[in-house]
Every structure is written in C-alpha cells, then in structure tokens.
Chains A and B, each alone.
Chain A
C-alpha cells in the first residue's frame, strides 16, 4: 500500500498554510476572555473552524479547475459552484452547532451566546470559503484566476472584523482600551493584530500587484525566470 512519508518539511508546509491563521487566532485569543461563557463559545468557534479547514485539507475540498474545462453549459456550471459553496458553508455551520449543543448540554453556554458566535463564524469563516466559492458569482471563465484574489481580500476584511469585535469584548470587560493594552492578553491581541496585518501585507500585497498586472504577464515573468534556469541547464527554449 502506498503510504506518504511524513517529514518535517511537509509538516512545516502544512502549518504555514494560511488558512490556519484563523483557527490559531481563536485558540490564542480564547484564554484572554475572562468571561467563562465567552471562553467556551470562542473555543467552540475555534474548533468548528479548525474541523472545517481540516476537512478541506484532508478531502481536498478546493474547487477543481477541471470544471472550467468540462463540457457544461454556463447554467450547469453555476449550479455546481452553488452546491459546492453551500456544502462548504453547511459543513462549517453544522460542526459549530453540534459543538455548541455539546457545550449547552454540559451547561457551559446558552443559546443566545451560541447565536452571537454564529455572527462571528459568518465573519471569519465565510471569507476563506469565498476564496474558492466566489467563482460562482461570475460567468466569465477566466475569473478562475481572479476569484482567488477577491477571496484573499475578503479574508483580510474578515479578520479585521473579528479583531474589532474582539476589541469590543475587551471594552466590555475592561472598560477602556488603555487598561486592555496593559493586560498580558491585551498585549497578545495587539501584537497579534499588528503581526497578522503585517503578514497579510507581506503575503498578499505582491499578489495583488501580480493580479493587477494580469495573469498572463505574471506567467511571462515566471517563465522568464524558468528560462534563465533552463539556460543554465542547457535546455533549449521554445
């Protein structure tokens, strides 16, 4: 039986995967919330997002590019995308409510808090899914290359929204922002927020520029680099 060898390189690659930023954020932020209820619902939120991403990773839930090539009418293709999108969001919501139900039975959360968590889930969970799902909104087939960019931008907005909502939590608990910054967890949050913004700036800004320059030009630049490499190896260029 074929079995893939697990190496540190592969583990590193997996952990670098940007989608893990969201669940990690939840897990890091979770203890900072002093209210027990908030803590449990953030935990539930984090677990459900983690499971959803994990399933994506395991099941290879990315929207296959093959769909753009298969013989389908535009209507058929759109229906497929909608189903795909609905399935991904449905999985996330399902896990969230199952976990919340378990916590509820344990007496850790009430339903009003669970419902509030749903709003957070929508803000932080849907944008990453849109990375692949937003292709459904477009009919032009070449948008396959563009939808990734839109999704990434939504992801950034999603995280920003979560940060601000998180701050709102603190304001309720500590009264003012200065007091928050003076707590250990407050520092974690502020540093985390700045770090994440920096991460996205570094990670996605060049990408935005690439897409603005348009996909074909990007390919050209890439192929020029490959050419230089091939020339070194003595391969003739076509």
Chain B
C-alpha cells in the first residue's frame, strides 16, 4: 500500500509570539476536502494561517504542502498556495488586472484568461482600482486572483464574513467546485459557524494556540447529542459529559458527550447535533471559563 498523500501536513509546529504561543500543532488535510479551522478570537487561527503561508517563521516543526517542505522549498511551496486574507495585500493604485499581471508573474500557472473568467463570475470589473473596492469586493478579488493560478491548497481567513447572502452562496459553490476533482483542498477560518455545516468536511478546533481536535464532521457529530426538555431535566442530566446547557422560558437544551452505554432520561428529546450546535456550545463553554 502506498503512502497516504496530504495536501497540507503540519507536524509539531510551534512558535512563540510575545506572550502568545502556538504549541506543537499537528494535523493533516487530504486532497479533495475542505477543512474549517475554528476557535474563539485570539485562539491563534490567523497566526497559524500565517505560519502555513510562510509569513511567520516557525520556531520548530514542519509544514509540508504536497510533501514539499515549506522551510526547504519556500518558493515552490508558495506557488501551490492560494490565499484570501482580511489584510489588503495588493497595490491600491493599480487596477485589478494590473495587480493580477504584476503578481501573477510569480506564479507559473497564472493565466490572465482565468483571472478574467473569475472576475466575471464574481461580478468584478477588472479595470477598477484595487484601492476603490469595498471590503467584500476586495475579498472577491483576492479569491479571483488565487483561483487564477490554479493552486492545490486554498487558504482563506474569514472569507465570507463581508459578503451578502447571494455572494456567500456563490463563493461556497466555487469552493466546492475547487475541491471537486479530488486533487485540491481548502483550509479556511470563519466566524460564521453555521456555514461550516454546509461546507466543511473536517473541523480543526484551536484553543489558546493548541489544537483541541482535528476530525471529520461525521465523527465529531457522532460524539455528541443534543438533549432538549423541561427544566426539571437539568437535575437528572449525566454530570461529567455535559458540555453546555442553555436555558430559556420553555425548557433546556444541553449538549452532552454521547455514550451508548449510558441511559438518558426517558422524557428527554435526543437529537444528533449539527456542527453549529457543537461549536457554539464549545465556544460558549470556553467563554464562560475566561
């Protein structure tokens, strides 16, 4: 049996940035999948993205893109990566097409026709100046540029937060098409966790610079149950497995770690949670402990 291929592989990546530390992070992303990187603000998502993109150097560990080391072959690794970040990276004074030509030179697979095609899909005028784009349009432009050189890994940091519902749908569709050939992958962070249910195949949860888990969506949702019922249910809930309880006027809704052996109260309604339920509960729990 041949060795398993990964588009992205991190092994014991660590980095100290002032008082903040990224601790021995390891995870891998197979080709053809979309991974959502989630965590509260300040958890280290953007730092990790910058480490992956080679903007921050590592104190130790290894980052590989398609088996090529970022440290040893930064140039060829970067040729294979597309990125959409919140920061403004392009030259404001140049038009979109001028920017694309200027920076496309560094990517051997860049094709101007591709860029124009994606601009059309995203309803962007390639002759407009980059400095005059709104935040949402700027992200669309970054995405059009990133797709135009056909990378194998697309890294997106909060890509859809500034889009309206229609644009968000369109971009999600484009990302699905991007991974459809089974050769390419997407890693992205988002504030909108309900979006992950729709698109992510894998979830990597980061907390204070540490990976808490990195699993596929099915495995994750299988590990929990959402229990709903009257408030009196609260007293009969299994103690140690409860992640988060939400109370309202009508009753309670609790996320619990699922245990097949355990008996749950007969009057409780038990559901398989969505990804949103799980992540929301975990973040709320985290927030309560801060």
Interface residue A137 (Cβ < 8 Å from any Cβ of B) = no
Interface residue B239 (Cβ < 8 Å from any Cβ of A) = no
Q: Which of A68, A69, A215 has the most CB of B within 10 A?
A: A69
A89 to B19, CA, bound (A): 37
A142 to B47, CA, bound (A): 11
Interface residue B238 (Cβ < 8 Å from any Cβ of A) = no
Of the candidate stretches B33-41, B163-171, B172-180, B243-251, the one touching chain A is: B33-41
A140 to B54, CA, bound (A): 10
Interface residue B46 (Cβ < 8 Å from any Cβ of A) = yes
Interface residue B6 (Cβ < 8 Å from any Cβ of A) = no
A144 to B76, CA, bound (A): 22
A2 to B18, CA, bound (A): 45
* 0 or 1 for each of A36-53: is its CB under 8 Å from B? (1 = yes): 000000000000000000
Asked if B89 and A60 make an inter-chain contact with CB atoms under 8 angstroms apart, the answer reads no
**What B residues does A69 contact at CB under 8 A?**
53-55, 78, 83, 89
Asked if A64 and B41 make an inter-chain contact with CB atoms under 8 angstroms apart, the answer reads no
Interface residue B11 (Cβ < 8 Å from any Cβ of A) = no
CB-CB contacts below 8 Å: B181-197 with A = 189-194
A68 to B89, CA, bound (A): 9
A138 to B102, CA, bound (A): 23
Name the residue of chain A whose CB is nearest to the CB of B75.
A71
Name the residue of chain A whose CB is nearest to the CB of B194.
A236
- 8 Å CB contact of A238 from B40, B54, B83, B87: B40
Q: In the assembled complex, how far is the CB of residue A156 from the closest CB belonging to chain B, in whole angstroms?
A: 24
CB-CB contacts below 8 Å: A26-68 with B = 58-62, 64-66, 68
Q: How many residues of A contact B (CB 8 A)?
A: 37
Name the residue of chain A whose CB is nearest to the CB of B93.
A60
A213 to B88, CA, bound (A): 23
Q: Which of B83, B89, B190 has the most CB of A within 10 A?
A: B89
- 8 Å CB contact of B20 from A74, A217, A224: A217
Q: In the assembled complex, how far is the CB of residue B66 from the closest CB belonging to chain A, in whole angstroms?
A: 14
A58 to B94, CA, bound (A): 10
**What A residues does B76 contact at CB under 8 A?**
71
* 0 or 1 for each of A209-238: is its CB under 8 Å from B? (1 = yes): 000011111011001101100100001111
Asked if B41 and A144 make an inter-chain contact with CB atoms under 8 angstroms apart, the answer reads no
**What B residues does A220 contact at CB under 8 A?**
20, 41-42
A238 to B50, CA, bound (A): 18
Interface residue B288 (Cβ < 8 Å from any Cβ of A) = no
Asked if B20 and A235 make an inter-chain contact with CB atoms under 8 angstroms apart, the answer reads no
Asked if A217 and B56 make an inter-chain contact with CB atoms under 8 angstroms apart, the answer reads no
A236 to B193, CA, bound (A): 8
* 0 or 1 for each of B123-165: is its CB under 8 Å from A? (1 = yes): 0010010011000000000000000000000000000000000
Name the residue of chain A whose CB is nearest to the CB of B105.
A70
Interface residue A141 (Cβ < 8 Å from any Cβ of B) = yes
**What B residues does A227 contact at CB under 8 A?**
41
A4 to B40, CA, bound (A): 38
- 8 Å CB contact of B42 from A141, A142, A223: A223
Asked if B193 and A66 make an inter-chain contact with CB atoms under 8 angstroms apart, the answer reads no
Interface residue A73 (Cβ < 8 Å from any Cβ of B) = yes
CB-CB contacts below 8 Å: B6-23 with A = 17-20
A22 to B19, CA, bound (A): 37
Interface residue A72 (Cβ < 8 Å from any Cβ of B) = yes
**What B residues does A216 contact at CB under 8 A?**
17-18, 20, 42, 46-47
**What B residues does A73 contact at CB under 8 A?**
74-75
Asked if A66 and B53 make an inter-chain contact with CB atoms under 8 angstroms apart, the answer reads no
Interface residue B92 (Cβ < 8 Å from any Cβ of A) = yes
16 extra interchain contacts, Cβ-Cβ under 8 A, other than A59-B93, A213-B18?
A60-B93, A65-B88, A66-B90, A69-B55, A70-B106, A71-B74, A71-B78, A72-B78, A141-B55, A216-B20, A220-B20, A220-B42, A236-B193, A238-B39, A238-B193, A238-B279
User: Chain B: residues with CB nearer than 8 A to chain A?
Assistant: 17-20, 38-42, 46-47, 50, 53-57, 74-79, 83, 87-94, 103, 106-107, 125, 128, 131-132, 189-194, 279-280, 283
Could you write out 8 A-B pairs with CB less than 8 Å apart?
A71-B77, A72-B106, A144-B55, A220-B42, A226-B41, A237-B41, A237-B191, A238-B283
Counting from the closest, the 4 A-B pairs by CB-CB distance are A60-B93, A214-B18, A71-B78, A220-B42
